[in-house]
Amino acid sequence: MAASSTVIQSPSGARGFNTELKVFGGMAALLIVLPLTGLVYPYFIMQALCFALFACAFNLLIGYVGLLSFGHAVFLGTAGYVSAHAARVWGLAPELAILLAVMAALGLGLAIGLLAIRRQGIYFAMTTLALSQMMYFVYLQAPFTHGEDGIQGVPQARLLGLIDLSKPLILYYSVLAIFLLAFLLIYRAINSPFGEILKAIRENEPRAISLGYKTDRYKLVAFVLSAGLAGLAGAVKVIVAQNASLTDVHWAMSGEVVLMTLVGGLGTIFGPVVGAFIITAMQQYLAGWGQWVQVAQGVIFVACVLAFRRGIVGEIAARLKIPL
Successive 10-residue mean pLDDT values, the chain, 324 residues: 42 64 89 85 90 94 90 93 92 92 95 89 90 91 86 85 84 93 94 91 89 90 95 94 88 88 88 91 75 74 75 81 71
State the pLDDT at residue 41: 85
State the pLDDT at residue 303: 77
- The helix or strand, by DSSP H or E, that contains position 89, with its residue range, turns out to be none
- The helix or strand, by DSSP H or E, that contains position 246, with its residue range, turns out to be none
State the pLDDT at residue 9: 42
State the pLDDT at residue 233: 95
Domain residue ranges in the chain: 14-31+41-320
Alpha helix segments (H runs only) across 38-120: 42-62, 73-88, 94-116
Rounded distance between C-alpha atoms, residue 315 and residue 307, angstroms: 9
State the pLDDT at residue 13: 54
Contact 261, 77 (CB under 8 A): no
Alpha helix segments (H runs only) across the chain: 14-37, 42-62, 73-88, 94-116, 121-141, 168-190, 193-210, 215-241, 251-264, 271-285, 292-307, 312-320
Rounded distance between C-alpha atoms, residue 196 and residue 64, angstroms: 9
State the pLDDT at residue 2: 43
